[in-house]
Amino acid sequence: MNKALQDSLFIYLLRLGDSQLVLSHRLSEWCGHAPELELDIALANIALDTLGQARTLLTLAGEVEGEGRDEDQLAYYRSEREYKNLLLCEQPNGDFAQTLVRQWFMDHYHQLLFTELSQSGYAPLAAFGVKSLKEVNYHLRFSSGWVQRLGLGTEESARRTQAAIDELWRFTGELFVTDEVEDTLVEAGIIPELSTLAPQWAARIAGEVKEAELTLPEQAPYRQGGKQGLHTEHLGFLLAEMQSVQRSYPNMSW
């Protein structure tokens, strides 16, 4: 693997791993606070699955980088600008509807992406795709089912779900925005061309929104920059909480 390809693969693995780590942390914030016990357990399990995916990806990133950094060092000793996660993942939980809509957007994205990654020319990423797809299929059944329940439920649940869609829609375009990092990996047969996944994602979302008797915003998504380290104000607070113990007691272990 030449240096340019190695560098691109490292950044891409960080982007995937950071997104999963930040999303997992957001979901974990519901532990003990969900509307009912069954949902509390479900969200915690999804958070654990997503954390496991983050660990795999950050471990791979450290191996590709070749500078001796492991998953913990990458997770706890990088600053906000060094994180490469999608902006959608770092958005606050809000109410239960907002958390579900955020997860629903990401689950459809993950199912499409991980299906393609399972055919990656980079064997560790292909293995990750195969394993993680099994988890994502469950996550999607959960989030899609709840979007339907909330949309077709009471007037209040529909209002809150519509508000969540309206609030988070602006961040969804970044899911499919590419730069030279992705272009290099597409050419090498390591990742799929993201632009080919966008129409499938949009069709799935539009179909389920219609079934739930909700609507999509007319304005096109426009927020991006997370993959380049340009984040919203929310990530800094999240990292301060997540990294506080390791920053206070460096290199501690359980």
Domain of 85, CATH number, reads: 1.20.1260.10
Contact 88, 175 (CB under 8 A): yes
Number of domains the chain is built from: 1
* Structural domain contains residue 254: no
Decide if 110 is inside a domain.
yes
Domain range for 179:
3-248
Q: Which pLDDT tens digit goes with each residue over 168-215?
A: 999 999 999 999 999 999 999 999 999 999 999 999 999 999 999 999
Mean pLDDT, residues 128-144 taken together: 97
pLDDT of residue 82: 98
- The CA distance from 235 to 11, in Å, is 19
Identify whether the C-beta of residue 226 lies closer than 8 Å to the C-beta of residue 87. Answer: yes
Cα 137 to chain centroid, rounded: 14
For residue 184, tell me if it sits in a domain. Answer: yes
Backbone angles phi, psi at 177, to 5 degrees: -80, 135
The pTM (predicted TM-score) of the whole model is: 0.96
The pLDDT value recorded for residue 46 is 97
What's the token pair of residue 140?
A: 């999607």
| Cβ neighbours of residue 121 closer than 8 Å, sequence gap 6 or more | 188, 189, 190
Assign 251 a pLDDT band (cuts: 50, 70, 90).
confident
In a domain, 253, yes or no: no
The answer to whether residue 193 sits within a structural domain is yes
20-66 confidence digits (pLDDT tens): 999 999 999 999 988 888 899 999 999 999 999 999 999 999 999 99
Question: Would you state the structure tokens that stand for residue 187, as one six-digit string?
Answer: 């050419």
The predicted pLDDT at position 254 comes to 67
What percent of the chain shows pLDDT beyond 90? Answer: 92
